[in-house]
Chain A
Amino acid sequence: MEHGSPTAEFLGFTFNLANILMITVTSVIVFIIAVLATRNLSMKPTGMQNFLEWVVDFVKNIIKSNMDWKTGGRFHMLGLTLIMYIFVANMLGLPFSVVIDGKLWWKSPTADPVVTLTLAIMVVALSHYYGIKLNGFGHYMKGFFSPMWFLFPLKIIEEFANTLTLGLRLYGNIFAGEILLGLLAGGLATGVGGTVAAIIPTIAWQGFSVFVGAIQAFIFTMLTMVYMAHKVSHDH
């Protein structure tokens, strides 16, 4: 399904208005979920508070599995925002997509490589920043030449590879899911027979996409913490 994207120029930057819309929608949904869940905080948690506390503990465990909590605690909020944002973003494209005048407006923001790579670069940049901040510049530079000095080129490549794989893995999974959903809905479901035939695979693929979306959100957060730990930890 080839759709165009509604672009606009503003102050010399190119904006994909669909992305802008979906990023905003995702952020707002995440914020609303979080605020609704924490509106009536109590010592004895109920309902949504339980869920959000579970998320908090879940991210905490992800961080703890990579580094000790004393260093990792500062990434807690980052991990929480990442996992919730990416999960919601992944889910948004599943129920439907909106195409107006051949331009795709409603989709997962994570089905765009620009968005996912932005997140990936942000994460990697943060890992470098904290690597220097917590361990000092000397230790940070030494990381590129250990364990052997001639691994330096590989280390440089690794940084770019990390960034690319982190962003493109998310993009690829979500984009592929949406493409297939688009094919099932738009390509197969054209007459009565086609619609009936499309129902079961669509439902199955949507279920699978929910699974993939959740897994990708988890993987993104997990890898973020892995890269952070790699830069921040002392024994490397």
Chain B
Amino acid sequence: MFVLGAVAEHSGLNSGDIIFQLLMFLILLALLRKYAFGPLMGIMKQREEHIANEIEQAEKHHQEAKKLAEEQRALMKQSRQEAQALIENARKLGEEQKEQIIAAARAEAERLKETAKKEIEREKEQAVAALREQVASLSVLIASKVIEKELTEQDQAKLIQEYIHEVGEGR
């Protein structure tokens, strides 16, 4: 059946070429679709979806992060306010305590001074009383001695002086 054409020139239409070209083209198309471009487009589509997904995710994350930051900021603000209030309170408390302590100390000091004064007063009175007692007994002693010795006026004076002196020393 295969007869190589003896005539070199085109003798009319190469009808076989048309059929062959068409057939080959359709086969090529089918093969390419099945083995090359089908999978390729599949993966391109997959990548498209993947990227869209990623972008969506990223946007969501971004939104979340924004929200978190906002929350954090609010919290920060709140805690700062709280800290401020705490410090203020502490300062007030300290001020009050200071006042109290000072007042207490002052009162204490006043009281101490008062007691000390009273003590001094009492001591003084005691001393005066004791002195008075002693003077009285001394006077009696002197008088007895004077009587015993019959002293001159000068001696008497001298004696008194001596006794007074003695008293002064004894105190």
Q: Which 9 A-B pairs have the closest CB atoms?
A: A4-B8, A7-B5, A34-B36, A15-B16, A13-B16, A118-B21, A81-B29, A27-B28, A13-B15
Select A56's contact among B1, B8, B37, beta carbons within 8 Å.
B37
B11 to chain A, nearest CB (A): 7
Q: Give chain B residues whose Cβ lies under 8 Å from the Cβ of A20.
A: 16-17, 20
Q: Is B167 an interface residue (CB 8 A)?
A: no
Total interface residues in chain B, CB < 8 Å: 40
Main secondary structure on A side of the interface with B: helix
Q: Which residues of B sit under 8 angstroms from A233, Cβ to Cβ?
A: none
Partner of A53, one of B2, B31, B44: B44
**Residues in A neighbouring B27, C-beta threshold 8 A:** 27
- Whether the pair A16, B16 counts as a contact (CB closer than 8 A) is yes
What is the size category of the interface that chain A forms with chain B? Answer: 35 or more
Contact between B14 and A42, CB atoms less than 8 A apart: no
Report Cα–Cα, A42/B40, bound state, in Å: 9
Q: With an 8 A cutoff between CB atoms, is B32 at the interface?
A: yes
Cβ–Cβ contact B20 & A56, under 8 A: no
A-side contacts of B50, CB under 8 Å: 43
**A49 CA to B44 CA, complexed, in Å:** 10
B interface list, Cβ under 8 A from A: 1-5, 7-22, 24-25, 27-29, 31-33, 35-37, 39-41, 43-44, 46-47, 50
- A157 interface hit (Cβ, 8 Å): no
Could you tell me if B2 and A85 are in contact, using CB atoms closer than 8 angstroms? no
- Provide the bound-state CA to CA distance between A41 and B72, in Å: 45
**Is A235 interfacial (CB 8 A cutoff)?**
no
Asked if residues B5 and A43 are in contact (CB atoms below 8 Å), the reply is no
Q: A7 touches which one: B11, B21, B28, B31 (CB < 8 A)?
A: B11
CA distance A50 to B81 in the complex (A): 59
Q: Are B13 and A14 in contact (CB under 8 A)?
A: yes
**Nearest-CB distance from A60 to chain B (Å)?**
10
Q: List 9 A-B contacts (CB under 8 A).
A: A10-B2, A13-B15, A14-B5, A15-B16, A16-B17, A17-B4, A24-B24, A34-B35, A76-B41
Given contacts A4-B8, A43-B47, contact A118 B40 (CB under 8 A): no
Beta-carbon contact of A56 and B44 below 8 Å: yes
- The CA-CA distance from A9 to B9 in the complex, in Å, is 14
Q: How long is the Cα–Cα vector from A8 to B14 in the complex, in angstroms?
A: 9
Evaluate contact between A118 and B28: CB separation under 8 angstroms: no
Q: Is A80 an interface residue (CB 8 A)?
A: yes
Given A10-B16, A14-B5, A122-B22: 9 more A-B contacts, CB < 8 Å: A4-B8, A7-B4, A7-B14, A14-B13, A23-B20, A30-B32, A31-B36, A114-B13, A122-B25
